[in-house]
Structure 1
Amino acid sequence: MLQKVSVIVPIYKVEKYIHRCVDSILKQTYTNLEIILVNDGSPDNCGTIIDEYASNDCRIIVVHKENGGLSDARNVGMEYVTGEYTLFVDSDDWLDRNMIQILMSTSLIYKADIVQSAFYYAYEDYLLFDNRFDKKDDPPIILGNKPLMAELVKNEIVKNFAWGKLYKTEIIRDIPFKKGVLFEDVFWAHLVMHRVNTYVILNEPLCFYLQRSDSIVSTYTPKNLDIIKGLLERHHFIEEFYDHLIDESYKGILNTSLIHYNLLLANRNKINGKKYRYEIEIYIKNNYGRLKKSVINDNFLKKQLFLFSLHPYLNICFLIITRLFRRLHILPRPIRLERVTLRGSGDL
């Protein structure tokens, strides 16, 4: 008998995208599904749309609730899960019709606690695939617990995203998402991965991650700094359980802090970010020795840290000059993601 997969879809102000998302789940070749659509107080017609879906397919469970954010919607959705496996899908994304079938088969073959799918960054008329580390036809990658945590901290082949992964429900049932934060997955993923014995990564892209100009993370605000809070919270966890990853954790915190310092500065006309920039400066100053040790083998970050410690604007000048030299081919350009051009909307 096929194990049931519970699919949780939090829904808020996605009337333009909801049909494509839900249809891609309903059309899955793996049919033993429980589709939990959580209307997070959406002010548009999403509630009516998903009620209509539920009236036409008995696999759909609709939950209407007051707006509480993505974390709260996912947590509420988990209360309705009865499947042995769980998949999170964001309501503006969509799935390849074979995705769940492939993830389930992989999980059973490798006795995996979690299976991660590769994905496309989906734009209006093209897709991008991150082929910097692995190619689409490369064999699956199987990780045990310690290598998994190392890759999670690096955030290269193991992503912090909750979506795009098939979980054994028992692994995640009692780990709620943190409410009221952006980048909630960063606060959550390490707690989940700590429980994992076998993690499988598929290199074939099976889902489509929509890149929206109006998304909550595309318009910069101080709430975007929640990602640093999440990394710091994870760092305390790393210190307790995976002390061999402390330097890698510091490296990630430094890189993210420098990026957000520059974003705060770039948005200074619309954000009073002086307080937040000062907090980043103080953190880097107080932890300079450990941060310096963490980037000893990363010349680019090492230069950024040194220049930032002299004055943050020196680092910005360094980045501008580096970008210019790359354009002039004086320095090598970073490897670009593989681009797939779409012929029309039907390709999506």
Structure 2
Amino acid sequence: MLQKEKVSVVVPIYKVEKYIHRCVDSILNQTYPNIEVILVDDGSPDNCGIIADHYGKLDDRVKVLHKKNGGLSDARNHGMKHVTGEFTVFVDSDDWLENKMIENMVNSSYTYKADIVQSAFYYAYDQKLLIDNRHQKKNESFALLDNKTLMYELVINERVKNFAWGKLYKTEMIQDIQFEQGVLFEDVLWAHQVMKKVNRFVLLDKPMYNYFQREDSIVATYIPRNLDIIKGLKERHRFIEEFYEELIDESYKVILKTCLIHYNLLLINRGQDKGGMYRGEIQSYIQTNYIALKEAANGDKQLSNQLQLFMLHPYFNVFFLGLRKGLRKSRILSQPVGLERVKQYD
């Protein structure tokens, strides 16, 4: 039986020896004391397992689980088997929390009778914190969403994020929904299944989760497994077609944008796509679904233009993006609104 008002914090751990103390300390130092911290050592080859065991001896709120390496999804699923709290929070082991995060989220859940509470977050770099204010409504400290609004926000991925972390869940909402193993971007395959069950969702405007950004860029580290995001979006699209027909166009737009981005990334990293098989799959999908994608993009002039150029030849779209980037660099075109720096470290 789940313990009322208790919060279970599940932390998968793998090769994060450099960051694990910052992460776990931020959880144990929360102003909300009624927590259990489930550290899942996913067969980490460094000293993470030893460090986790040390925390288990220091604080009786810490449970340490050791298992063979199975990936992030497997570690989260394993941790969920040991959850005893009314609420569950996922934290990635290189991230960290502001000290009032859990207290504020629990209070919000009770106040608004919410199934899930999501905190805003910082993009945390080694020497700076950034925040995305582009979709924030002025003078709004929180938003209360019903199910239809929630699913719309999840699909467009602006205010409600597909990430599993940064949210407080009623444990009963997620106990029977496992993360798919063996894929990247597993959260995309998981989130919509959870959100379908939600009646009330609270979106907090204050950033309380620090999402650590490694310096490696996706361009430099790109591998074909990154295409799992497209597979996940297609699977979610089938779900949208069945349960949220009014969101089909929005879903198509997200798939199209993602396909165009990854086509260009594959082009840059041609060594990862010898023979162009993956680019061919993307091109085939866009050609096969052209009519539906065109209708979906109608209200988005830039996306519609990109689609038309891609249909003429994929390289035309690449040229268009390169030209636009050059015009912005020379300040002929204005820069898009980006992230705002809120803190600089020495």
Task: State whether residues 136 and 205 of structure 1, in contact with CA within 8 Å, keep that contact through their aligned partners in structure 2.
Answer: no
- Per-residue CA deviations over 1:202-247 (Å, capped at 9, x if unaligned) read 0100010000135999721000000000000000000000001001
SS of 2:222's equivalent? Answer: coil
Q: Secondary structure of 1:238's match?
A: helix
2:122 maps to what in 1? 120
CA distance in 2, matches of 1:215, 1:64: 31
Kindly indicate whether residue 98 of structure 2 is the aligned counterpart of residue 90 of structure 1. Answer: no
Q: Structure 1 stretches of 5 or more lacking a match?
A: none
Q: CA deviation at 1:270?
A: 4.7
Distance in 2 (CA, whole Å) between partners of 1:78 and 1:132 is: 34
- 2:300 corresponding residue in structure 1: 298
Aligned to 2:339: 337
| Deviation larger for 209-218 or 270-279 | 209-218
Corresponding residue of 1:164: 166
Unaligned runs of 5+ in 2: none
Q: What is the TM-score of this pair, normalised by structure 1?
A: 0.96
Q: Which amino acid aligns with 1:58?
A: D
Tell me how far apart the structure 2 counterparts of residues 105 and 277 of structure 1 sit (CA, whole Å). Answer: 48
Report 1:66-81 matches (<5 A): 66-81=68-83
- AA matched with 1:121: Y
Of the candidates 233, 253, 256, which is equivalent to residue 254 of structure 1? 256
Give the conservation status (yes or no) of the 8 Å contact 2:224–2:272. Answer: no
Matched, 1:22 2:24: yes
Question: Which residue identity does 1:159 align to in structure 2?
Answer: K
Deviates more, 1:322-331 or 1:135-144: 135-144
Deviation of 1:325 after TM superposition, in Å, equals: 1.6
CA drift of 1:273 comes to 6.5
The answer to whether the Cα contact below 8 Å between 1:88 and 1:162 also exists between their aligned partners in 2 is yes
What amino acid sits opposite 1:287 in the alignment? N
Letter in 1 for 2:325: R
CA distance in structure 2 between the partners assigned to 1:197 and 1:35 by the alignment: 27
Percentage of matched positions with identical amino acids: 63
Q: Give the match for residue 13 of structure 2.
A: 11
> Is the contact between residue 212 and residue 218 of structure 1 (CA under 8 Å) also seen in structure 2?
no
Matched, 1:281 2:283: yes
Which of 186, 195, 198 is the matching residue for 1:196? 198
Give CA deviations for 1:162-184 in whole Å, capped at 9, x if unaligned.
00000000100000000000000
Paired positions, count: 344
Aligned to 1:240: 242
1:97-246 aligned within 5 A: 97-134=99-136, 138-213=140-215, 219-246=221-248
Q: In 2, distance between residues paired with 1:66 and 1:119?
A: 31
Q: For residue 324 of structure 1, report the CA deviation from its aligned partner.
A: 1.4
SS of corresponding position for 2:221: coil
Kept after mapping to 2: 8 A contact 1:222/1:273: no
Q: Could you tell me the TM-score, scaled by structure 2's length?
A: 0.97
TM-superposed deviation, 1:13? 0.1
Determine the C-alpha separation between the residues in 2 that align with 1:234 and 1:122.
29
Contact 1:130–1:338 (CA under 8 A) maintained in structure 2? yes
